[in-house]
Each structure stands twice: as structure tokens, then as C-alpha cells.
Amino acid sequence: MGISELHAWASASPDFLITVSTTVAAASATSSPLSYTPGYAPQEDHFNYEHEDLKPQFIDVKWQPLVEHPYTDKGLSGDPNFKNLTSIAADIFDYNPKIGTEISGVNLAKLTDPQKDDLARLIATRGVLFFRNQTDLDIDAQKELVSYFGKLHRHATTSVPKREGLEDVHVIYTGENSKEMRAVFTPTFLWHSDVTYEVQPLAYTSLKVLTGPPRGGGGDTLWSSQYAAYDALSPSMQTLLEGLSAIHSADLQAEGSRALGRPVRREPVTTIHPLVRVHPVTGWKSLFFNPGFVQKIVGIPKIESDHIIAMLNELIATTQEFHVRFQWGKNDVAFWDNRVCNHSATYGFGPHRRHGVRVAAQGEKPYFDVNGTSQEEEFLRERGLPQVNKDGSGLQNYND
């Protein structure tokens, strides 16, 4: 029976309309309401946990200091329009103009080398990429993929998986009964870029969440663009910071591990890096500042150093326009560039388990180049838009 015939029959049969209306109303009245408790997410049962071999342990071994090694960024070989990667994607969208892009339809475990090159170039451009439900990317495939981008980093103090042979995998694990640490680490201090104290800090970094809080249960991660942090500064402040360097130290991390009776597998190092660096792929200038590891700005009095550090802490932690926040699902992967991003964990997800594995490749020794450019200025020129007023002049009023 077609639509027109059904309409004609229903019009001639008022009893039919009454019957249908009565049935729908009865079904609505008897259906079960949604089960909802504000601020509550049911706890997952981890009986017979499938990732038992990737739970954390602290191996007590001694490693030699890291030494400089040659590095060539794979993103330099990527297509400027990322066509090798986007051609296999089902969808791609940015979270905001400054940072963060989600790609669907891409299986990270099955990329060709040209697609990996594009992946590196896009990470360098967007800061962090998100890929949902990467079930094929087990820990071996994850290591193989990241090793394409550079020498894998072995962390001196954090936990590694129970399974042998994975010393270059960092385990993120918060159990059901783990102690809440928000009173120990301030929100500003939590913002960091991983192991910036190394002579050659990390470049491309992948994190896969194996198990996490259910939807709405917390445990998100945030990233902050250091391209955008640099661009947010006035030209005078940019010039000042371009002539300065900062002391990055592993001492606090090592002391914390020893205080807990955990091993320090490689002696802590202190390194001086430029406060503004240039990315080898994009050519853009970015701030290279780390609230968690920077101890002092070199070559200026302590009071000036303290004020600059406080200002940069506030800039990174509170400027929402260059933040992106990701709500994890099981087997989701984030791939980011530690050279141009800070990131931060979030608390408040107890009593849920949060278990992830991170694999990261070391990049180049940070450097500054006077010929570096600005991400924001380049994008505005390409789009024919006016440049941003950064000197604070003129009367302004903001209502939102």
C-alpha cells in the first residue's frame, strides 16, 4: 500500500486513527525512563582484563646517558596538501582553528610510507590528531609506527609494561583505588611537554587509551598550542623571548621517584634550550616553555625570570583559544608533536581505571632561526584577512 492509498484509507476509517493514537500513547506511558544519575558513570568490571601484560612495573636497571644522534623529520617528505592521507579518510575536521584535528576511516596500523609522511606533516601543522577505535594498533604495531618517525625514547623513571621487551613504552595507569593527586600538583604545573630536559626532546608522540572511564566519567586530556602561544605575544615580547633560553631539569622527577622507593634508570640531566624554537617542517616559530620542567630563564635576574615564568604559565594554562580537549573512548589514539604542544591530564575520574600506553620518538635538538615565520600571520595572509592587533592600542569593549 502506497502513501496516498494509506492516507485515503485512514481518512475513511476514523476508528483506525483512534486505534493507532491509543496504541502509541500506551506504549509511551509504559516504556522505561532513561536511567540517569547526575555526575555518575557506572564503573566497568575488569575481571579477566585483556591488557594484563601491559599493566605497569618499575624495572630496576641502569641505562647510559642519551647522546646526540642524527635526525631527519619525516614530515619534510609529506605532501603539502596531505593527499596521501586524506585520500583514505572518511572524514576529517578541526576542533578549532589553532589546534586539534580528528580523522576517521584511517587505520593507523596499515599506513604506507607516503601516508606516514603525510601524518607527520599534518601533526606538525595541527599539533595533535585524534583517531577513534584503533583496535588493530596493538602495542607492537604502535611501536613500529612511531619508530618510523625517529629513535624511540626510553623514560628514566616512569613505569613500563609487565611484558618484557617494551622498555621504550611508557604506561599511564590509574587504578580503581589510586590516590587523588590534585592537592599535590596544581593545574598550571600539570601542563607540560614530555621530557624537554633531554638534549633531543620528543617529537612525534602517540598515546592509546586501552581502558578509561565511560562516557562522562572524566579522564580527558587537553593540549595547548605553543605556536599560538608565541603568536599571542606582542612583537616586543616575542623579540625579548627570542633572545632568551631556559633551564630544563629532570631533577624534580628523579627526586620524586627516589622518594617513593622507585628506580631511576638514567641519571637526571639539566639542559638549556631556546625559549622560542622553529619547527623544521612548518618553519613556524613556537614558544618552547614547560611549566613542569623549566626552572629558570638564563641570563636575567631571578625576579625577572620568575615573572616571565609566571606570565608564560598563565598564558599556556588559561588561554582557551589555543586549547583542545579530547574525551577518550576505548582504543582511541592521540598523536601529537611535543615540540609545539603542551598537554595536561585531568583529575576527578575516580573510581574508574585509566590505562594507556605511550610511545614517542626523539626529534632534533631545539634551535631558533631568525627566518622562522608565524603560523597565525601566514594563515591570515593566505585567507586575505587583516593581521591581529597585538599592541593593545585603542578603546575596546567585549560582550559575550
Query: In sequence order, which residues have a C-beta less than 8 Å from that of residue 114 and are 6 or more positions away?
Result: 77, 79, 84
Longest Cα–Cα distance in the chain: 92
Catalytic site positions: 192, 194, 343, 358
Quote the CA–CA distance of 379 and 332 in Å, as a whole number: 30
CA 243 to chain centre: 28
Closest listed residue to residue 162, CA positions, set 55, 59, 264: 55
Query: What does the chain come to in residues?
Result: 400
Amino acid in position 360: A
Q: Are 63 and 156 in contact (CB under 8 A)?
A: yes
What's the grid cell of residue 89?
A: 579518510
Quote the CA–CA distance of 109 and 52 in Å, as a whole number: 22
What's the grid cell of residue 124?
A: 606538525
Quote the CA–CA distance of 56 and 356 in Å, as a whole number: 10
Q: Are 73 and 281 in contact (CB under 8 A)?
A: yes
Amino acid in position 86: T
Query: In sequence order, which residues have a C-beta less than 8 Å from that of residue 255 and are 6 or more positions away?
Result: none
